[in-house]
Copies of this chain bind each other. A is one copy, B any other.
Amino acid sequence: VDRPVLVLVPDDDGVAALAAVPGVRALRYDVDTLPTDEQRDAEVIVVGHLGIDRTTRGMAQLAKLQLVQTLNAGYDQWIGRIPPGARLANARGAHGRATAEWVVAVLLAHVRELHRFAASQAEARWSRGFTRTLADRRVAVLGAGDIGGHLRAMLTPFGADVQLVGRTARDGVIALPDFLAERAGYDVVVLVLPLTDATRGLADAGFLAGLREGAILVNAGRGPLVVTADLRAAAAAGRVTALLDVVDPEPLPDGDPVWTTPGITITPHVGGAVDGIWGRAWRVAAEQIAAYARGVPPPNLVDL
């Protein structure tokens, strides 16, 4: 008989999520004692949010490790930390809709000026006025993966004209250089790219100078996609409005001047932080691990 694949999980939710996966035995680990004798033969480890340094140290002692499975979508923090012979898979598919929902939420709140009407309510004063709308607006979404696909589906019914931008052109997706050449044609530019050497600092002074006057830049990817000082200058000059869920550095220090720069709205990296999200992430992780246990490559393997 084949022995079950030993999978290390960081919490009891993981034990429960993997209970029904055939050919798998899940054991809970603690980053401080990883690996115990019972855990040394693990082929798979699921990593949580915290203790990345300590988890990396423990992982290095798992001689049979084949798969590191995360519960997140971003994975730049794992570059250089996966032991030789092992691969990384993320939880793509669990978080995209929540993050896309955040993008649409802040965009709509901005164009429909909900802050202005909240201020009128606080003054108990009826004060009408026209606002902008997403209808007939051109929106570029940089990042044609899970979040980008959700954004196209969500924004199109509002009458927005959505263009996905990816590393390579394909059906419904244009390549980044083509977007850059015509970026003045968009009212809204949404960044949902992964952070790589190619994307770090993409939105610098030159990028921002080429956007339409009054364009809205949304960052729901990673803070270092944007050169913070350059964005501050463009926003303070009134040339762009920025809606940011991620920022560089992060967390943004209390009292940092970015907080009070006119034209910049910040939320504290909560794009994916919605009720039920860890249940969704565990369902995706369980699917990846089930594929591994069947001898099939997990669909969410990431090339670091």
Contacts and interface: CB of A to CB of B under 8 A. Distances in A.
Interface residues of A, number: 54
A270 B131 contact: yes
Given A157-B157, A251-B126, A268-B117, A98 B133 contact: yes
Contacts of A259: 121, 124
Contacts of A118: 115, 265
A106 B114 contact: yes
A128 interface: yes
A129 interface: yes
A277 B157 CA distance: 17
A100 B117 CA distance: 17
A265 B120 CA distance: 11
A304 interface: no
Contacts of A130: 270, 273-275, 277
A150 B154 contact: no
As for how many copies of this chain the complex holds, the number is: 2
A112 B246 CA distance: 16
Contact of A132 (B124, B256, B260, B275): B275
Contacts of A267: 114, 117, 121
A154 B154 CA distance: 7
Contacts of A265: 118, 121
Nearest to A244: B121
Interface in A251-272: 251-256, 259-260, 265-270
Nearest to A273: B130
A86 interface: no
Contacts of A121: 259, 265-267
A134 interface: yes
A276 B153 CA distance: 24
A136 B277 CA distance: 12
A120 B131 CA distance: 25
A114 B109 contact: yes
A126 B275 contact: no
Find the residue from A118, A265, A267 having the highest chain B CB count within 10 A.
A267
A254 B157 contact: no
Nearest to A98: B133
7 contacts: A121-B265, A126-B252, A127-B268, A133-B275, A135-B276, A136-B276, A157-B157
Given A104-B104, A124-B260, 14 more contacts: A101-B158, A104-B158, A105-B114, A115-B118, A120-B268, A124-B254, A126-B268, A128-B273, A130-B273, A135-B274, A135-B276, A150-B157, A153-B157, A154-B154
